[in-house]
Structure 1
């Protein structure tokens, strides 16, 4: 459920701020990481590429949107751990401002910490995630 909560928060970021703002934040984040990785002699982790190849992030006519489910993982697509890491980076890059002021990953963690093992079905979790991301409305 953690990756599902992350996805819903990322989706709301794109809805609330527009794709240009969020993509700018994510791109800047990865540019800074690239410099740090190169300085440390580490291979570059291109999270935007992982999000696009998995189908979490879809580009259409120069605009981006987040797909909440049905991603491609495995085979030639990135695996779940790479997708999860890329989403956490994206959530670190952008602030949540519609429900308090914090990094996106902190907001998603608040949901996860408060809701883990509280529900019996996936449907109950999805409904609670939607309510949480909408700030209870």
Structure 2
């Protein structure tokens, strides 16, 4: 079975056989790695593309640069990316820059993690978490 994966670099939609997902596939358009064990920063248009066109779950950290707990959780979110990719795409949305996304998803406090699959939100968690807790939380909801 092939999965649609949106490239975090050029936003092209790639078809990747599910059995090749763990083999570090590259984008057919820009030839960058589809997964590099780092969360991708998303703007509104990119967010919508990853949400609607990718077949793997999307874990989003809604954050802001002035938020102490957000800055404290950032390294843990990076570590979680290394453990969860390529089965899950991890992304960060700066709610100061992307206020419309924060409003669309009624983000009331930051950091807030939201897990999406097949275009819809399936779980949400507010507050800073460690890497192990993030990984366990995601796996419990998939």
Q: Shared fold by TM > 0.5?
A: no
Report the structure, 1 or 2, having the larger helix content.
1
Greater strand content = 2
TM-score, normalized by length of structure 2?
0.31
